[in-house]
Structure 1
Amino acid sequence: MLLVERETPEGVLVSVCDADDLGETFEAGEVSITVDPDFYDGEPADESEVTAALARCTVANLVGTRTVEVAIEAGYVAEENVLEFDGSRHAQYLQL
């Protein structure tokens, strides 16, 4: 997984993707998502590092089967809120 943490005026923004998804575009009907390297290309991270970043963040954008599974297992994302794309998954997390 690739992890990026950005400080914003509203808090910490985290983006995480499966490394194999970087640069790819996935579709689901009329909807598509591009895993843009400018946004998602970060440092390699393991499950514990991703979970720790999710604990610190205000907002997270998550792309990839493994990435989304880590967020679900850690309790940050509910399975029913995950978008399924042809070949990948996407979820967002917002801490209120």
Structure 2
Amino acid sequence: MEKAKTQSFTVAIKSSPNGTVLVITDTELIGQKFENERLQLDLSKKFYEGELMSSEELSTKLDGAYVLHVTGKKAVEFVSELGLIDSKKVLEIAGVPHAEVYLGM
């Protein structure tokens, strides 16, 4: 069952030789840095900058993506609800969920 509430995320669309990479981030996290004893997540980097996109618009972009780079509780939850993220593969860095998903071509 789909959620009635529309969400929005910051989405950067990157081109790679293998296809499109979608960088999907909870908007309120952009510009922040998070780290634990092993990993660092620097959301102040240009890589994470993108456009504000509704969940409906984002859904239309997912079909053509090669890789998803997903950061933040809402973003990971949204992509998980679509069946694209294995919850066992989600990293947590200073309380911020992060996943990278290979979708292929």
TM normalised by structure 1 equals: 0.88
How much is the aligned-residue C-alpha RMSD, in angstroms? 1.4
> Matches of residues 1-96 of structure 1 in structure 2 within 5 Å?
1-96=9-104
Structure whose CA Rg is larger: 2
Q: Which runs of 5+ in 1 are unaligned?
A: none
Consecutive aligned runs of 4 or more in structure 1 exceeding 3 Å deviation: none
User: Are the equivalent residues in 2 in contact too, given 1:54–1:76 (CA < 8 A)?
Assistant: no
Identity %: 25
User: Which secondary structure does the structure 2 equivalent of 1:93 belong to?
Assistant: strand
**d(CA) in 1 for partners of 2:90, 2:58:** 17
**d(CA) in 2 for partners of 1:80, 1:28:** 19
Question: Counting helix residues as a fraction of each chain, which structure ranks higher?
Answer: 1
TM normalised by structure 2 equals: 0.82
Matched pairs, number: 96
